[in-house]
Amino acid sequence: AEGGAGLPQGAGLSECTVAAAETLDGVIQTLSKNFAEGVDYLQVLVAVFGDVLKSAEHGHLKSFFIIVPALCMSFCEASRIAKDRMLKSVKGKPVYFTDDGFAIGVAYILAILGQNRHFDSLHWFDAQKGVYMAELRAIEGRREGMRRAKDKDGLEDAMFQEKRVRTMAREVEMLEWSL
């Protein structure tokens, strides 16, 4: 047999506990209903903030997409430095690094401002790949000359430069996948 509020008799719960359980049940039902209806909360947030950020008061954001490449380079460099420091400090222990807040934030702001197409039209990621490929070709050319001259210090320096360029290219590529 059941007692009040659908609880089995003898459960021995206080009225306060029963009221809290009923409130929790209501919250869970509301959440289940809202998610089942397919409400896209990200689109709701984009719409709400979009109206505010597209207003005349925030007109300076009309060209936000233009500063994104500089922000991306700064982020990639900071990320590379943080990873290097982290790897040096743990000395052989397994470590994991993640920082997707920047990418999510930039993607969100570009979406709110409706500037994704503008940013894409810069073809910045493709241009960066070209820059890194050119740098790697130049380093390889210098390395060949140093091999012939048997310049060990120069070869070591070139290997370090190549590693740095490849690391930055990988950082930019990972950021591209995140945006």
* pLDDT of res. 45: 80
Chain mean pLDDT for the chain: 85
pLDDT digits (tens, 9 = 90+) for 132-173: 999 999 999 998 888 888 888 888 999 999 999 999 999 999
Residue 114 and residue 62: Cα distance in Å, rounded? Answer: 10
* pLDDT of res. 167: 94
pLDDT digits (tens, 9 = 90+) for 53-91: 888 898 899 999 999 999 999 999 999 988 888 877 777
Q: End-to-end alpha-carbon separation of the chain, Å? A: 57
For the chain, the residue count is 179
Q: Is 131 within 8 Å of 76 (Cβ atoms)?
A: no
Residue 163 and residue 160: Cα distance in Å, rounded? Answer: 5
pLDDT digits (tens, 9 = 90+) for 91-133: 767 777 777 789 999 999 999 999 999 999 999 999 999 999 9
pTM of the model: 0.68
Secondary structure of residue 99 in the 3-state scheme? coil
* CB neighbour list of residue 9: distance below 8 Å, 6 or more residues apart: 1, 2, 3
Tokens of 80: 């590379």
* pLDDT of res. 8: 55
